[in-house]
Structure 1
Amino acid sequence: MCTLYLDAFSGISGDMFIGALLDLGLDFNILKSELKKLNLSGYKLQYEKKNKNSIFGSDFDVILENGQKDCGISEHHKHHGRSFLDIKNLIENSDLSDYVKTHSVDVFHEIAKAEGIVHNKPIEEIHFHEVGAIDSIIDIVGCFIGLEQLNITEVISSPLTDGCGQIKIVHGEMPVPVPAVMQIRVNSSIPVHQRLDIQTELVTPTGIAIVKNIVSKFSPLPDDMEILKIGYGFGKKDIKCLNALRIILLKKK
């Protein structure tokens, strides 16, 4: 039973979180084995240790059979994607643990609820694009597999750091933080520091929804706990500073 501290000095996304969990000691073979319980096909997992900014950490990615990222949109019907109910059924009908199922569905519900408000639609009419893609389903479910495998019983976090400017998504050019991220922050106590010198998104809807689901409090690194191990999960974007999520395994002194 351990506490995990998220040091989100460069934001958070699902793949960064899984990369950090692998760097901390999550067994990649166990992760792959557990994810097969989803009965998804057409993808492979990529994991490697890398050196970025003279820091060694882990890079995790989901590659589709065609070598591309799945945006969750049909070439001929770009308004279609995977519905929340589709994803919920996929997860709940798997052989994953109840812990993984419950938290994964809750995270997708959080994102669906936010998207519903942003687009003025009921949840059942929301069809996911980026977050409904195979890679994002893997990211969300994989995070909870990792937390369970590492026996994490408490998660605390630093304030999150996001960038600014504009990014292009399925619905067009959007401001950073993107509307779904802002909506997920409503009625929450998630502190977000916005860096005006970084012109891109650092906090994704997946990342902040996971944080909202698992983090019990936001604080500096506790001084009454002993540091056991540190892991780094790298982000994909090249920015002017180290783009990584640092996670720290703690126990009471």
Structure 2
Amino acid sequence: MPSLALQCASGASGDMLLGALLDLGASLERVRAGVAAVAPEPVEITVEPVRRAGFAALKAHVRVAESHHHRGWSHVRDLITAAGPELDDGARRRALETFRLLAQAEARAHGVGLDEVHFHEVGALDAIADVVGVCVALEDLGVDEVHADVVAVGSGQVRTSHGLLPVPVPAVLELFAGTDAVLEAGPVRAELCTPTGAALLVAQVGAWGAPPPATVVKVGVGAGSADHTRSANVVRAMLVEPVPQLAATPLPSPAVAR
């Protein structure tokens, strides 16, 4: 079974990860069906080939009707749990874990109880579509193990429903706290890793850092919305096959001049 290696040098968001997985070959129709099984209102998911600083990439667009519903963790959990067979058990487990982690991080960041957390900060229906879509795509690709390299989080400030917050926002730091993830500021002054992106990474990644020796089977590139002039705003996702004999063979010691 292939592993997935993620490069997040320009951060990560739900739509970037979804675009990368769809570019790898995950079924758009299965993603749409899985999201429709969960979402209480219509959601439109489309893809568009774009370029980001020279990279050919796939932009996933998630469009929802304007809504003022602020669904709490228990409501989102019930929607996912009650979804029909279009959402298979593997994707259901992944989605529940992602939203559980996100709810816990938001609760810690804002000093409220878990049942008081509402997902207006991360877009409600948009977040449901991104999270469920990524989880369905992972299952469709048959991915069991996920690696992720250094995650760029950006810098500066971002405007939220709570006012101006420093980047990374509190929920993102709470999500990564206690993990082995390596974060870096930059490469631009903007919010590069969103709470949804961070929650998906923390829930799905089993190993942080460069993957072990492997052959690359296929590459997918997911685009972010912004087109930064100084860096490619993309997530690269690679299906890789481990090469155990290389991992187990120590490199020869360099010759020492005498």
State the TM-score, normalizing by the size of structure 2: 0.88
SS of residue matched to 1:152: coil
Alignment match, 1:41: 41
For the Cα contact (< 8 Å) 1:5–1:247, is it kept in 2? yes
Moved over 3 A (4+): none
1:221, distance to aligned residue in structure 2 (A): 4.2
Unaligned runs of 5+ in 1: 75-80
How many residues are matched? 240
1:103, distance to aligned residue in structure 2 (A): 1.6
Change (3 A) 1:52 1:238: closer
1:86, distance to aligned residue in structure 2 (A): 0.6
Alignment match, 2:218: 229
Alignment match, 1:108: 99
SS of residue matched to 2:93: helix
For the Cα contact (< 8 Å) 1:225–1:251, is it kept in 2? yes
Measured in 1, the distance between the counterparts of 2:153 and 2:119 equals: 22
Counterparts of 1:142-157 in structure 2 under 5 Å?
142-157=133-148
SS of residue matched to 1:177: coil
SS of residue matched to 1:130: helix
Measured in 2, the distance between the counterparts of 1:159 and 1:56 equals: 22
Measured in 1, the distance between the counterparts of 2:166 and 2:121 equals: 16
Measured in 2, the distance between the counterparts of 1:173 and 1:33 equals: 37
Q: Paired residue for 1:85, among 53, 74, 84? A: 74
For the Cα contact (< 8 Å) 1:155–1:214, is it kept in 2? yes
CA RMSD of aligned residues (A): 1.5
Alignment match, 1:77: none
1:149, distance to aligned residue in structure 2 (A): 0.2
1:36, distance to aligned residue in structure 2 (A): 2.0
Unaligned runs of 5+ in 2: 244-258
1:148, distance to aligned residue in structure 2 (A): 0.2
Measured in 2, the distance between the counterparts of 1:170 and 1:38 equals: 25
Counterparts of 1:164-203 in structure 2 under 5 Å?
164-195=155-186, 198-203=188-193
Measured in 1, the distance between the counterparts of 2:80 and 2:211 equals: 34
Measured in 2, the distance between the counterparts of 1:32 and 1:139 equals: 11
Measured in 2, the distance between the counterparts of 1:137 and 1:122 equals: 21
1:241, distance to aligned residue in structure 2 (A): 1.1
- Amino acid of the structure 1 residue aligned with 2:49: K
State the TM-score, normalizing by the size of structure 1: 0.90
Q: Paired residue for 1:210, among 185, 197, 200? A: 200
Counterparts of 1:3-152 in structure 2 under 5 Å?
3-65=3-65, 70=66, 73=68, 81-95=70-84, 96-131=87-122, 133-152=124-143
For the Cα contact (< 8 Å) 1:82–1:132, is it kept in 2? no
Measured in 1, the distance between the counterparts of 2:35 and 2:8 equals: 25
Measured in 1, the distance between the counterparts of 2:51 and 2:123 equals: 30
SS of residue matched to 2:127: helix
1:212, distance to aligned residue in structure 2 (A): 1.0
Q: Percent identity?
A: 31
For the Cα contact (< 8 Å) 1:181–1:205, is it kept in 2? yes
For the Cα contact (< 8 Å) 2:35–2:128, is it kept in 1? no
